[in-house]
Structure 1
Amino acid sequence: MPPRGKPQEFQITVRNQEHLYELISGKKLSIVDLYLAWCGPCELLTSSFRSIAMKIDEWDSRMQFLLADTERVPDFANHQVSCKPRFLFFLGPKLIGEVDGADVPKILQMINRYLPPLEAD
């Protein structure tokens, strides 16, 4: 099936708390990679996320990958206490799960469990 329209950028950097809530307000599964600016963003899983996304039909209409600096999004400050990767999963604005560490099988399990179905045309 040919792609529909232009896909979104692969990862979106969250500018601030308001931007985050704007991004997660829809029906997509949002995977938020939390990081600390002084520690640098975790690049470890970017290639894994890209590989996962490319295997999902119309991934860009069903899910999104967000990068959030906990210093810019105060609501996340209690979720990130070290440089260890931490991923929050939102379905719309609702927090539905967390994965602590670079646990790709667990992240994939969460995606498979919560990924919205394809919309009928």
Structure 2
Amino acid sequence: MSNTKSFSELIKGDKLVLVDFYATWCGPCQMMQPILQEVAAKVGDRAKIIKIDVDRNPVAANKFQIRGVPTLILFRKGEPLWRQSGVVSAHQLVQTIEKHEAERV
């Protein structure tokens, strides 16, 4: 995560932001990395994908009551639109992003 912007600044824009709350010691979190790369390739600039290490960012993790990792939350304008804990398939993530993108129009 860039140190120049706070977490709240990263998620407050009009663009969809998919946040992966993870921990370096978490096996399922490591499984999400190639899935997120695939999602990024499919959605392009329609959504931003960022990873937040819960051990290094406890304030953000507490604010959104992250109890298990990985937890994925989709935001727009700082508001959580969707969340899911555990490993999520690229197909489901792309569908979720497209669904929320369509609702905006």
- Is the TM value for this pair above 0.5? yes
Q: CA 1:27/1:116 → structure 2, altered by over 3 Å: closer, same or farther?
A: farther
CA–CA distance in structure 2, aligned partners of residues 32 and 88 of structure 1:
5
1:46-93 CA distance string (max 9 Å, x none): 22222222233xx22x211111123414142263223x4110110121
- Indicate which of 3, 7, 11 corresponds to 1:24: 11
- Name the structure 2 match of 1:87: 72
RMSD across aligned C-alpha pairs, in angstroms? Answer: 2.8
**Higher share of residues assigned helix:** 2
- Indicate which of 68, 77, 94 corresponds to 1:108: 94
CA–CA distance in structure 2, aligned partners of residues 101 and 30 of structure 1:
18
CA–CA distance in structure 2, aligned partners of residues 75 and 55 of structure 1:
27
What one-letter code is carried by the residue in structure 2 that aligns with 1:101? G
- Could you list the runs of 4 or more consecutive aligned residues of structure 1 that deviate by over 3 angstroms after TM superposition? none
SS at match of 1:32: strand
After TM superposition, the score normalised by the length of structure 2 is 0.72
Instruction: Report the structure number with the largest CA radius of gyration.
Output: 1
What one-letter code is carried by the residue in structure 2 that aligns with 1:92? K
- Indicate which of 48, 59, 67 corresponds to 2:51: 67
Deviation at 1:112, TM superposition (A): 1.7
**Structure 1 residue ranges without an equivalent (≥5):** 1-12
The number of residue pairs the alignment matches comes to: 99
- Name the structure 2 match of 1:44: 31
After TM superposition, the score normalised by the length of structure 1 is 0.64
